[in-house]
């Protein structure tokens, strides 16, 4: 009985260590700058990233427009921000 349990645990550990969930999480994050018009001269807002447990969440500060530029700021990982 004990041998059967140990064999099951060994097989489970092989599958878990090979699964994508155990691979390191890493997602690119960007700051988006929002402009008032197509001249891209007046900044009216920003969209900033925040690292969650396994995701990047973005929040808006200011006014949303369709005139934007994106700047890569780093990677969000399971341990927080990864330095550039």
Segment 7-32 mean pLDDT: 62
Estimate to the nearest angstrom the gap between the alpha carbon of 79 and the chain centroid. Answer: 11
pLDDT of residue 23: 63
* pLDDT band, residue 11 (cuts 50/70/90): very low
Segment 12-25 mean pLDDT: 52
Q: Where are the domains of the chain?
A: 22-82
pTM of the model: 0.68
Q: Which has the closest alpha carbon to 71: 20, 29, 17?
A: 29
Segment 14-21 mean pLDDT: 45
Within 10 A of 28 (CB to CB), how many other CB atoms are there? 11
């Amino acid at each position: 009985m004990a041998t059967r349990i140990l064999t099951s645990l060994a097989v489970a550990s092989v599958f878990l260590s090979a699964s994508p969930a155990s691979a390191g999480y890493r997602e690119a994050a960007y700051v988006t700058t929002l402009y008032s018009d197509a001249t891209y001269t007046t900044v009216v807002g920003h969209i900033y990233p925040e690292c969650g447990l396994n995701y990047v969440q973005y929040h808006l500060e200011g006014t949303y427009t369709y005139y934007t530029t994106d700047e890569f700021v780093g990677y969000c990982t399971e341990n927080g921000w990864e330095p550039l």
